[in-house]
Chain A
């Protein structure tokens, strides 16, 4: 609550003054360093050695964590439960995938200098217009942010302008990602249909199959997570962040004191979509494939669960939740795949009913207990 002490600072550097952010960044960089050292310096076969597969897995978790931060920004602070953030993630991923496809060049199965394999397979004569430019890294990387941002802009403009909120908005976002999934399944869309984009070779000249590149991507994802976190933190600690919280709790009231609520919602929604796109772009080279299943409503709603489990409106909670759930998923699907959906379903119910503030809420509760015995009479928020 006590933001007065630091709020005279420049908005982007404001988060560095917070203890929570300092702790978060410290833990994150320590983890990055630790994994790197254990991977490079500890010899293979040693029990502490972290192999390339695990590094890759961690990299995947970190990109999910960034995605979760993006969702927490809109859900936790703005009260917009987006069940379609997977769509922005996937679009960012496709933008990256298109770049990686173009990088394959003549090394594809059919050896066509320009057309990706699946287009040759479909007997396409030339590259569709929207594939142009993706051979240039800067263009593709710009699209990673702009394409999801644009979709969020158009969609959000329509939705917020007519004051579609609450459950309505949630379902409409779900419909959005569902419609996109159907669309991307079509071969005619020119995104590889069912199979999506895969068989990538290199990124910016680095071989995607080498261990060094994997480590590099892992670190890059960690840095992106840190930057995304700082950006979100800067937004929520600014006056704009307080307008968001005000909108979340009493939208009509916020409008009455003179804020164009729909514009604030749109702004934050677009920023969040761009972060999700970035997360998708970092995810794709690490898993080596992007296909329409990333658009599935189930995935989008799973992201929300990560945030709910970690604790809403904390940002670091989202990171904890994303890593916890996905780690559990890796373990579960390894030993008893059938049980995973039971566990996931039960998690949804348990978190919403028993742990509405998530792990982060639990942590701060324990911490407060430790700090002072007489609990402050904090009202339910």
Chain B
């Protein structure tokens, strides 16, 4: 079908299918004679002539053209001593299995000494690549057509441009048409043609920018000016896109920080203690995901979804154990609690190292979470980060609901504001402590599940987050979930904005220094609690 639409040169099509069967028994059919002639034209010394031969093959509309061109590109199209053209199937060892280039029949093994490679140079390689891409434009597979159109960007020369014009007109797929138009326009712009420059205006592809850059140096001042203007416009666009990308990465990092910090914010707000094992509870959540995937091999998506409740439960139970086993004995001694929970974090880390492995484990990203959302040539958003961002917001909303709408939330808020008063009003502070600790720990588990999709799952996973999480809590103000959200997201963004010009390490340092200075100005964070209770 696609051949009819093709270059519209030869019209042997009706015959060719009928004759292929015949060709196998009789090598001297007219079709094969023509093919042999095409291939023989390659076996010359002049690269110029070879180039013409390639063009001829491309235009021959032969079924086998793509294989020949690919083989030629890979150096597998060779001529045997007996004059036949063969495709080398595997060029390792001394004897190579080969197949006839015309019939594709296997010819058994041949000694490498009996074969003569048809050499090519770099110019020919480029020509071959675009030739193959042109052939692929007619593939029935839409993905293949798209990717071949993508490959043609910047590879178009005069002849190809003319070849492509009718293809563009007939292309069914929008993406293919857009790309081919760009490809031709790039060629035209490089030639200093106004039409090309105009067509490229607003295009964000790097090759388009290169072409416009050349056009800007054109002798024709009108074209040069237009190209320069187009370039400036593109730069502007790129800047915006880069900004958006930074914002996206910042939000993504921020969402991780929010997930990591929000559980900490709850336990710190209510009990006034820093749970240094919070990071390790995240680690347990991440390992739960890994474990689920081991239990459900081949179903990473289902395993991931089941990990959400499982990770929450595992972390929450460990959290309760920590609260009952250690923290309850250290009431009113926040610094000792900090030390004790640090000890627990060491034990948990070492436990994972001993029981599972000191090495990182791989958690599979399910199909529907991998890949990315392509917005344009300069901006694509990875899906896994988007899911984590969404997940963080859902977790936040859920916690908000618990805090605002449930009895537990009310009691937690009461204990946060004034412990003694809440207790005297009949709130069982101990029960609230256990529940909050379980909740905070469970959320850490959720954070771990999410994190398993973004980073390596290893025994040190949690360690890297405890300082950052605490910074978020301090920055946002204790006992205020909104503060944690705003602080987490903004710290994520600040980090990403700083990174390009300061480097990752320096960016981290700058953020730490910033927070230290920020506490100078506002010791109680972005959203402080006001009034008498907070003064105490």
Instruction: List chain A positions with a Cβ less than 8 A from chain B.
Output: 81, 155, 158-159, 161-164, 166-168, 170-172, 174-176, 178-179, 182-183, 185-186, 297, 301, 304-305, 308, 338, 341-342, 344-349, 351-353, 356
Question: Does B512 belong to the interface (CB within 8 Å)?
Answer: yes
CB-defined contacts of B347 to chain A, threshold 8 Å: 341-342, 345-346, 349
CA distance A342 to B349 in the complex (A): 9
Name the residue on B nearest A162 (C-beta): B520
For the A-B complex with A342-B347, A345-B343, A352-B333 known, give 5 more contacts whose Cβ atoms are closer than 8 Å: A155-B516, A163-B523, A167-B272, A171-B467, A349-B344
- Among A155, A164, A185, A341, which residue has its beta carbon within 8 angstroms of that of B505? A185
Sample (10) of A-B pairs whose CB atoms are under 8 Å apart: A158-B520, A159-B519, A167-B335, A176-B512, A178-B467, A186-B505, A305-B339, A341-B347, A344-B346, A347-B343
Decide if A301 touches B513 in the complex (CB within 8 Å). Answer: no
Which residues in window 3-30 of B have CB below 8 A to A? none
State whether A353 and B339 are in contact (beta carbons under 8 Å apart), knowing that A174-B467, A179-B513 are contacts in the complex.
no
State whether A164 and B519 are in contact (beta carbons under 8 Å apart), knowing that A171-B274, A341-B349, A348-B346 are contacts in the complex.
yes
State whether A175 and B342 are in contact (beta carbons under 8 Å apart), knowing that A81-B335, A166-B334, A345-B350 are contacts in the complex.
no
Decide if B471 touches A175 in the complex (CB within 8 Å). Answer: yes
Decide if A182 touches B523 in the complex (CB within 8 Å). Answer: no
CB distance from B268 to the nearest CB of A (A): 8
Question: Does B420 belong to the interface (CB within 8 Å)?
Answer: no
- Among A159, A161, A172, A352, which residue has its beta carbon within 8 angstroms of that of B330? A352
Decide if B523 touches A164 in the complex (CB within 8 Å). Answer: yes
Say what secondary structure dominates the interface of chain B: helix
State whether A167 and B342 are in contact (beta carbons under 8 Å apart), knowing that A158-B516, A174-B467, A179-B508 are contacts in the complex.
no
CB-defined contacts of B336 to chain A, threshold 8 Å: 308, 352, 356
Instruction: List chain B positions with a Cβ less than 8 A from chain A.
Output: 268, 272-274, 326, 329-330, 333-340, 342-347, 349-351, 353-354, 467, 470-471, 474, 505-506, 508-509, 512-513, 515-517, 519-521, 523
Say what secondary structure dominates the interface of chain A: helix
CB distance from B266 to the nearest CB of A (A): 15
State whether A182 and B350 are in contact (beta carbons under 8 Å apart), knowing that A349-B326, A353-B330 are contacts in the complex.
no
State whether A178 and B512 are in contact (beta carbons under 8 Å apart), knowing that A171-B467, A353-B329 are contacts in the complex.
yes
Decide if A162 touches B523 in the complex (CB within 8 Å). Answer: yes
CB-defined contacts of B354 to chain A, threshold 8 Å: 338
CA distance A297 to B326 in the complex (A): 22
Decide if A345 touches B344 in the complex (CB within 8 Å). Answer: yes
Decide if B516 touches A338 in the complex (CB within 8 Å). Answer: no
Decide if B513 touches A341 in the complex (CB within 8 Å). Answer: no
State whether A161 and B350 are in contact (beta carbons under 8 Å apart), knowing that A168-B474, A352-B340 are contacts in the complex.
no
CB distance from B267 to the nearest CB of A (A): 12
CB-defined contacts of B338 to chain A, threshold 8 Å: 81, 167, 170
Decide if A175 touches B339 in the complex (CB within 8 Å). Answer: no
CB distance from B355 to the nearest CB of A (A): 11
CB-defined contacts of A172 to chain B, threshold 8 Å: 516, 519
CB-defined contacts of B509 to chain A, threshold 8 Å: 179, 182-183
CB distance from B222 to the nearest CB of A (A): 48
CB distance from B72 to the nearest CB of A (A): 46
CB-defined contacts of A348 to chain B, threshold 8 Å: 339-340, 342-344, 346
CB distance from B199 to the nearest CB of A (A): 45
Name the residue on B nearest A158 (C-beta): B520
CB-defined contacts of B515 to chain A, threshold 8 Å: 175
State whether A352 and B339 are in contact (beta carbons under 8 Å apart), knowing that A172-B519, A338-B353 are contacts in the complex.
yes
CA distance A366 to B505 in the complex (A): 51
- Among B335, B340, B512, which residue has its beta carbon within 8 angstroms of that of A349? B340
